[in-house]
Amino acid sequence: MQVRYSRAGELKISNISRIKHLKAGSMCMSRRGVEPHLARLRRHARAMAGSQSSGDAYVTALLDIINADASILHDPRCPRVGLFRLYSQLVATTSRDTGESGPADLRQLPAPAMLPHQIREALLLMSVERFSIGEVAEIMGVAPPEVQALVDAAGESLAALGGAEVMIIESEPLIAMNIKQIVEDLGLRVNSMPPTHGRALPMLHHHTPDLIIADGGSHLAVVEDLYTAGKPPVIFISAYPEMVLTGSRPEPVFVAAKPFDPAEIKALIFQALFFADLDWDKA
């Protein structure tokens, strides 16, 4: 399979006939049912891939497949589960399809590493996207007991995250303390808690933490400023996450919605530090 990028950085699959097994089967989806779920799919894809460009590229590729073969869209009763399952199948397909090279082979995308891929996928689907165990099993194509085993393995991995330094940028003291407790529960160290990104930037010029958790709101200037100040991974917490998940401009990779659940923040911390450890360029 070969892919190429347009000037806008969108991934194009040159031969989608190679993905014939991406059939919906029992999936429930309609063309009109896709659009309301694209922002959340982008969030999931970015977190899985570790970058905006690669995550959005997978979503674009998925939409190309759907547009090329409308027969994969079936019953409209559960479009979200169906859409996420198609994405999961696409990632699994492109991860296996490494026999050919080309101008921009899919292997060049930071696709999820094979060993922790299913662990991270199960964790994100349950903790961030709030699917049930049964829905995650359908999305991933595994039995519910296997999903539970993957989630248990994720819990063990979360317990081994100790040592990283975290900066928390949050203007509301109670929310900041809540995030601090979540971070410390994972054995991580909070090295600073500036209330605004304006206060944080001078601090970042002197010392770069391993991770930033920031109240990003819907202000994309915050995204750009923090990503250029030492380039640590950043988890943005926003009351309007859909405004930073449009796929049309530089946007966050890791996004949590307010109000957030501690399990959601822990899952995103795991994802962010996983890719930080791989030392991949997030730009």
Domain CATH for 144: 1.10.10
Contact 244, 226 (CB under 8 A): no
- Domain membership flag for residue 142: yes
pLDDT digits (tens, 9 = 90+) for 98-155: 433 322 333 443 333 434 789 999 999 999 999 999 999 999 999 999 999 999 888 8
Tell me the mean pLDDT in the region 231-255: 86
- Domain membership flag for residue 283: no
pLDDT tier for residue 169 given thresholds of 50, 70 and 90: very high
Residue where a domain stops, chosen among 82, 112, 142: 112
Closest CA to 235 of 267, 263, 281, 194: 267
Tell me the mean pLDDT in the region 251-276: 91
Q: Do 210 and 272 share a domain, yes or no?
A: yes
- 10 Å Cβ neighbour count for 202? 10
Domain CATH for 9: 1.10.1740.10
pLDDT digits (tens, 9 = 90+) for 36-68: 899 999 999 999 999 899 999 999 998 888 888
Q: Do 258 and 247 share a domain, yes or no?
A: yes
Q: Do 167 and 269 share a domain, yes or no?
A: yes
Helices and strands, counts by H and E, the chain = 11, 7
- Domain membership flag for residue 250: yes
| pLDDT at residue number 113 | 40
Residue where a domain stops, chosen among 159, 176, 194: 159
| pLDDT at residue number 221 | 66
Residue with tokens 């890791």: 254
Provide the number of structural domains found in the chain.
3
- Domain membership flag for residue 210: yes
| pLDDT at residue number 25 | 42
Closest CA to 61 of 97, 114, 28, 26: 97
**Measured CA distances, 236 to 51, 52, 251 (Å):** 14, 13, 10
Q: Do 168 and 256 share a domain, yes or no?
A: yes
- Domain membership flag for residue 15: yes
Q: Do 267 and 244 share a domain, yes or no?
A: yes
Q: Mark 168-197 as b/e (b = at least 16 C-beta within 10 Å).
A: bbbeeeebbebbbebbeebebebebbbeeb
Sheet bearing 234-238, strands edge to edge: 189-192, 165-169, 211-215, 234-238, 254-257
Residue 71: domain span: 3-112
**Measured CA distances, 5 to 50, 115, 126, 191, 281 (Å):** 18, 28, 32, 40, 18
- Most confidently modeled of 18-22, 83-87, 221-225? 83-87
| pLDDT at residue number 225 | 72
Residue where a domain stops, chosen among 92, 126, 159: 159
Q: Do 124 and 82 share a domain, yes or no?
A: no
Average pLDDT, the chain: 77
User: 237: which strand partners?
Assistant: 215, 256
Q: Do 183 and 259 share a domain, yes or no?
A: yes
- Domain membership flag for residue 154: yes
Please indicate whether residue 123 or residue 231 has the higher confidence score (pLDDT). 123
- Domain membership flag for residue 63: yes
Q: Determine the distance from the C-alpha atom of residue 15 to the mean position of all C-alpha atoms in its chain, rounded to a whole number.
A: 26
Q: Do 27 and 100 share a domain, yes or no?
A: yes
| pLDDT at residue number 95 | 63
- Domain membership flag for residue 103: yes
Q: Do 263 and 166 share a domain, yes or no?
A: yes
| pLDDT at residue number 274 | 86
pLDDT tier for residue 237 given thresholds of 50, 70 and 90: very high
Q: Do 141 and 178 share a domain, yes or no?
A: no
Q: Do 220 and 181 share a domain, yes or no?
A: yes
Q: Do 168 and 144 share a domain, yes or no?
A: no
The radius of gyration of the chain's CA atoms, rounded to the nearest angstrom, is 19
Tell me the mean pLDDT in the region 77-96: 82
Amino acid present at 40: R
